[in-house]
C-alpha cells in the first residue's frame, strides 16, 4: 500500500507555439502508452507561455516516476524552460522541479 499524492504540473515555455507543441507531444504519448503504462494526465491545457496538467496516484513513487518520464519526453523541445510539480501528499510534502538552462 502506498501513500497517495497529487500534483498540478506547470511547464513553462518560451511562447504559445512551444506550449502547443508540448501539448501535442504529451497527447501522442498518452495515446501510445494507454494500454501498457498509466501515463494519463487530466486537465491538459496550454496558454501563451506554458502548459498545465494534473496527475494523482495511489503511490507517491509512481507519481514521481511519471513526472520524470514527462520531463524526459519534453526536455529536448527547444523553448521549454522548466517544469514545476509540487506534490501534495498524505504525509510530508515533496517537490519535483527541473529548470533548463536556456543560454
Confidence of residue 19 (pLDDT cuts 50, 70, 90): very high
Name the domain count of the chain: 1
Determine the structural domain holding residue 87 and report its residue range: 5-99
Confidence of residue 11 (pLDDT cuts 50, 70, 90): very high
Residue that wins the pLDDT comparison between 54 and 95: 54
State residue 31's pLDDT score.
Answer: 86
DSSP 24-87: HHHHHHHHHTTTTS----EEEEEETTEEEEEEEESSHHHHHHHHHHHHHHHTTSTTEEEEEEEE
Q: Which has the closest alpha carbon to 86: 54, 45, 48?
A: 54
What is the C-alpha separation between 48 and 98, in angstroms, rounded? 20
58: domain CATH number? Answer: 3.30.70.600
Amino acid at each position: 500500500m502506498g501513500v497517495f499524492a497529487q500534483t498540478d504540473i506547470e511547464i513553462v515555455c518560451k511562447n504559445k507555439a512551444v506550449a502547443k507543441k508540448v501539448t501535442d507531444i504529451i497527447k501522442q504519448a498518452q495515446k501510445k502508452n494507454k494500454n501498457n503504462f498509466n501515463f494519463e494526465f487530466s486537465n491538459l491545457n496550454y496558454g501563451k507561455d506554458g502548459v498545465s496538467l494534473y496527475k494523482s496516484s495511489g503511490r507517491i513513487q509512481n507519481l514521481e516516476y511519471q513526472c520524470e518520464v514527462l520531463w524526459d519526453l519534453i526536455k529536448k523541445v527547444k523553448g521549454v524552460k522548466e517544469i514545476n510539480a509540487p506534490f501534495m501528499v498524505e504525509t510530508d510534502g515533496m517537490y519535483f522541479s527541473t529548470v533548463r538552462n536556456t543560454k
